Chain A
Amino acid sequence: MGTLIRLEIRKMLFKKRMLIVWLGSLFLSFVTIRAFSIEETYADIFSKGYGLVPLMGIMMFMMFSGAYTLEYSSNMGGLIKTTENGKRKIVLAKLVAAGISASIINVSVFLTVCLAALTKFKFEGLDLPLENLWYFGKSGSNITVIQMILIMIATIILGSFFFAQVGLFLSSLSKSAAVPFILGGLFMGLPYILEGVLRNLGLVKYLFFTPLWGMMSCELIRFKAPMVAPIFLIVMFVVTSLLLIKFTLKAFIKQE
């Protein structure tokens, strides 16, 4: 299983175009942070971190969308399915590999933003409460900067695995990588696109229950999401992922 996961990661992540976009995103993540006051710069960790979601989405769905369509188009799917581990285990290996790859990419983008900000103040003020940062001004949250960073890393990993499963499921259903890329991107990015409109309409509370906000958990804190939101999101992540694994296996086996 370890070899399968390692080589699946190689298939998804170590492609020239993937590496170019990744490096570009890391560069953008680094230069996006500028030295203002400590409160403003640290607030940027979260505002700019959330602002980089479209790039994360593009990279993730670039990886996921080809995961099964590549097998179908190259006729490797048939060969894989005739092997001992070519049904259930390969579906799991692809999920773990996609989850790890997406986590590496998303966490690396977020950590670059963090490091760009924290190094400007030699890692001082990590215990600043979020309510001191303009981005969280109305939240009244006494969570510290470092705690929020750690929570974000954890939820980004969780979210990466969730979106990995969504992307893999869409890929398993499609013959062309374009379909899972567009549909998956929309599924992930819709809350990001609609945020402005919903905020003006006073309907932002509905975004508490979206997977994107579950992944970028700073938004839940920023808009004072009720405790039920993270609980709902965790349950939804787990249940949906389990169901999608089943559906993905079915779609992969059925596809000739």
Chain B
Amino acid sequence: MNKLEIRNLTKTYGRKKANDNITVTLQNGVYGLLGPNGSGKTTIMKQITTLIEPTKGEIIYNGDNIKTLDDKYRALIGYLPQEFGVYKNFSAKQFLQYVAALKGLSKKESRNKIDELLNLVGLYDVRNKVVGKFSGGMKRRVGIAQALLNDPKILVLDEPTAGLDPQERARFRNLLSQISKDKIILLSTHIISDIESIAKETIMIKNGAILMKGNHRDILSAMEGKVYSIKTNNEEEAVEIQNSYKTVNIQRGVDDIELRVISDNMPPYKTTQVVEPKFEDVYMFYFDLENSREV
């Protein structure tokens, strides 16, 4: 069992607190890190991957401070940054060989692992083509493959499914579910459905601090009785509802408009119905609407 304890993690840049007293313990399984842009998700990930040092607090892996473990700890990490450009004159195979060497894999180990991962991400047939000519989705798949090269115990993925088509996303989710039994996977994404389908727990971050943490049931239960569906065939009324309530979704049908709203009190319209909350609603409730994309 892997255990990563994040204790009172604080990171400041001048006066700005990027992370504020984050305390959380992660064990095997997938954890979703959810929050709007600039909420401090990437800063947490950078500290977990030793890219930056905390201003205060510590990170403990299986009882040892990761600063003390140093190279030994990094040997256990797989990391996919939010954006990274592969070397244009390298083939997919050469790129993975390079990362395998960085991860300290022997030639024999890396040969087998690279072929296995290229198959897994569906790039085996184009393994000898230069990565510079790959599409965005293909480059992302190379990124996913490199993160898995050392069979990491802690896998940190920053927006891993950005740029993947729905089929690739589904395949990637399945892959994460398969491999999550014996590792800690921390997944940061804006794509709420990714977290909804694979994360055993979600950590919601706002202004650098943990807003909420728990499994789906815990998080959704907080929204129970606060999500409503309102149908109207009056355009003016629809505008009024939008102006009066936090509107998560507007669906225009043939005869009417269906609005999904969040409110502490039941909106006073004839067609108002309480509906089951979804993860998207939680996100909308706690974060600004403009920060939600690709749900």
Contacts and interface: CB of A to CB of B under 8 A. Distances in A.
B51 A7 contact: no
Nearest to B83: A75
Interface residues of A, number: 26
Contacts of A78: 46, 49, 51, 79, 81, 84
A7 B98 contact: yes
A76 B86 CA distance: 7
B85 interface: yes
A74 B85 contact: yes
B75 A84 contact: yes
Contacts of B77: 82-83
A15 interface: yes
B71 A84 contact: yes
A104 interface: no
B52 interface: yes
Contacts of A7: 90, 94, 97-98, 101
A76 B50 contact: no
Contact of B79 (A3, A82, A85): A82
Given A84-B102, A256-B51, A3 B85 contact: no
B46 A84 contact: no
Contacts of B107: 3
Contact of B49 (A3, A82, A87): A82
B146 interface: yes
B89 A10 contact: yes
Given A3-B107, A78-B51, A83 B85 contact: no
A85 B49 CA distance: 14
A83 B52 contact: no
A80 interface: yes
A11 B102 CA distance: 15
Given A3-B97, A84-B103, A15 B85 contact: no
A81 B46 CA distance: 10
Contacts of B86: 74, 76
B120 interface: no
Interface in B59-93: 71, 74-75, 77, 79-81, 83-87, 89-90
Interface in A63-92: 70, 73-76, 78-87, 89-90
Interface residues of B, number: 33
B89 A76 contact: no
Nearest to A74: B85
A79 B81 contact: yes
B104 A85 contact: yes
Contacts, number: 86
B98 A81 contact: no
A83 B102 contact: yes
Contact of B89 (A14, A73, A90): A14
Contact of B103 (A15, A83, A87): A83
B99 interface: yes
A83 B99 contact: yes
B155 to A, nearest CB: 11
Contacts of A183: none
Interface in A49-64: none
Interface in B96-113: 97-104, 107, 110
B45 to A, nearest CB: 10
A4 B102 contact: yes
Given A3-B107, A76-B85, A83 B51 contact: no
B84 A75 contact: yes
A90 B98 CA distance: 11
A4 B101 contact: yes
B193 to A, nearest CB: 26
Contacts of B75: 84
Nearest to B75: A84
A80 B110 CA distance: 17
Contacts of A10: 89-90, 94
Contacts of B80: 79
A210 B92 CA distance: 43
A82 B84 CA distance: 13
Nearest to A93: B101
Interface in A6-42: 7, 10-11, 14-15
7 contacts: A7-B97, A78-B81, A78-B84, A79-B99, A82-B74, A82-B77, A85-B101
Smallest CB-CB A-B distances: 8 pairs: A74-B85, A3-B101, A83-B102, A84-B75, A82-B49, A75-B84, A82-B79, A4-B101
Interface of A: 1, 3-4, 7, 10-11, 14-15, 70, 73-76, 78-87, 89-90, 256
Given A87-B71, A256-B46, 6 more contacts: A3-B107, A4-B98, A7-B94, A79-B84, A80-B102, A256-B51
